[in-house]
Amino acid sequence: MGEAVRDGNPAALARRLLRRSGRAALATNMRGAPYVSLVLFVADLDATPLLLLSDLAQHSRNIAFDPRISLLIDATEDYPDPLTGPRLTLIGRAEAVTDARLLDRFVAHHPSSAVYAAFADFRLYRAAPERGHLVAGFGRIHWIDRRDLLFADDHGALAAAEPEILRHMNADHADAIASYACNLLGRGAGDWRMSGIDPEGIDLRSGSDTARLAFPAPVLTLEEARGTLVQLAAEAREVTQR
């Protein structure tokens, strides 16, 4: 996460933490008492967190009572002193949604959830943020409004194309995906697959190992995504030729 700490744009840094993370501490209101639990999440294309929660869980009961929530995304694991590392607290509301695209995106990032994602007592939520509190390191603290925190450009075309991009890349370009992970990100060999694409990058997974490759510039359409993925594959090939 060192590169994120050097990023001068607090909103971009916050989105990077959201897109690279998969777990968070969820704070809810247990009828007047604060309650914190560990949850899995995935960022949607605009960086809004998506949560898949059981109706039987205490945090779901709390949300039914009061939809106001807070999420803590902790990205300090690689820092000897965690207080010098980046973390983001979101304040917002949990909104239940029934959207197959969003559920598919969650399951693609958390494959183990496929076992229970279709259960009647599980519900998908958007953790719609109202603002974020970013601690980017020691003494670097920012409040970020929703309009700056979320990716604002129209990403509807890319969202619609995401399933086909993943299918095509994983079926026909496994070698390129492996080169993204190994040559551009320095990760070890494995059965790397693309688990997601958004305007700011792609997500990769090999077993329980995950990686994030940021785009040099935002992409909003299938054509822009194709061009950027081809460009990154060429850069990865150059690494092996040096």
Q: What is the average pLDDT score of the chain?
A: 94
Confidence of residue 242 (pLDDT cuts 50, 70, 90): low
**Which superfamily does 2-149 belong to?**
Electron Transport, Fmn-binding Protein; Chain A (2.30.110.10)
**Under CATH, to which class is 156-241 assigned?**
alpha beta
Residue 27 host element (H or E): strand 23-30
Nearest in space to 166 (alpha carbons), one of 221, 210, 219, 203: 203
Nearest in space to 15 (alpha carbons), one of 44, 52, 51: 44
Per-residue pLDDT tens for 147-190? 999 999 999 999 999 999 999 999 999 999 999 999 999 999 99
Per DSSP, which regions of 138-231 are E strands?
140-145, 193-198, 201-206, 209-214
129 DSSP β-pair partners = 92
Domain boundaries along the sequence of the chain: 2-149, 156-241
95-106 average pLDDT score: 97
- pTM of structure: 0.93
53 DSSP β-pair partners = 123
| Pair of tokens at residue 104 | 């598919």
- Residue 137: its pLDDT value, please? 83
Q: How far is CA 163 from CA 100, 101, 108, 176, in A?
A: 11, 9, 10, 18
Residue 106 host element (H or E): helix 100-109
Residue 179 host element (H or E): helix 174-179
Per-residue HEC secondary structure of 54-99 comes to ECCCHHHHHHHHCCEEEEEEECCCCCCCHHHCCEEEEEEEEEEECC
Q: Same CATH fold, 156-241 and 2-149?
A: no
Residue 4 host element (H or E): helix 2-6
- Residue 139: its pLDDT value, please? 80
